[in-house]
Chains A and B, each alone.
Chain A
Amino acid sequence: DVVMTQSPLSLPVTLGQPASISCRSSQSLVHSDGNTYLNWFQQRPGQSPRRLIYKVSNRDSGVPDRFSGSGSGTDFTLKISRVEAEDVGVYYCMQATHWPPFTFGPGTKVDIK
């Protein structure tokens, strides 16, 4: 199974400042079809997860453009250009290249300093 790791696991941020979360996979997430199936999900307190980014860098509909995804191979990053209060929550990366199983990272908890 592909193991997903994230860092940091806790990220206190200042409102209006940037934030960055790293996600690494135990093997390359490049699929034989040429795509890289790496998603990012946001889970706000008390809510269900919501997908923000798919295939590394594609924002889902309605996701603010302050969120961006990048990376390749085994190293990926989610960036928030200017953190807002509504961004508090836990962020998970998930790989969908080598499945089953789909595997998630442990999550990164973002809160306000």
Chain B
Amino acid sequence: EVQLVESGGGLVQPGGSLRLSCAASGFTFSSFSMNWVRQAPGKGLEWISYISMSGSIIYYADSVRGRFTISRDNAKSSLYLQMNSLSDEDTAVYYCMRDRRDWGQGTLVTVSS
């Protein structure tokens, strides 16, 4: 069974940083591209970043480019999102998504003073 478990969310002050993790199991992690998608409270879904199987190809949404960094460790079956210069507009549940199909349960990031 495919499992994706996000962690690392929490309360952070504006301008602060946070690192999210997504632990994958139940499939060969290195064989799938991965994405981060977020959902602000009461709002819709917003794709924010993609990383290819090897990590050699990376894309970001305009809203996070230059502030967020996606990475992966295939040996640990883990996906990461380093988030810097956070603002209240980044408050959301952050999901990791395998390819364009399976989602984790999400981790809540709240940016507030």
Type the 1/0 row for B55-99, where 1 means its CB is closer than 8 Å to any CB of A. 000011110000000000000000000000000000000010000
- Which residues of chain B have C-beta atoms less than 8 A from A34's C-beta? none
Bound together, the chains give a CA A107 to CA B46 distance in angstroms of 11
Interface residues on A, range: 20 to 34
Q: Which of A11-19, A69-77, A97-105 lines the interface with chain B?
A: A97-105
How many chain B residues have a CB neighbour from A under 8 Å? 18
Partner among A39, A92, A105, A106 whose Cβ is within 8 Å of the Cβ of B100: A39
Question: Is A107 within 8 A of B95, CB to CB?
Answer: no
Type the 1/0 row for A89-113, where 1 means its CB is closer than 8 Å to any CB of B. 0001010100111111111000000
Q: Which of B7-15, B21-29, B101-109 lines the interface with chain A?
A: B101-109
Give residues in A with beta carbon < 8 Å to B. 37, 39, 41, 48-51, 54, 60, 92, 94, 96, 99-107
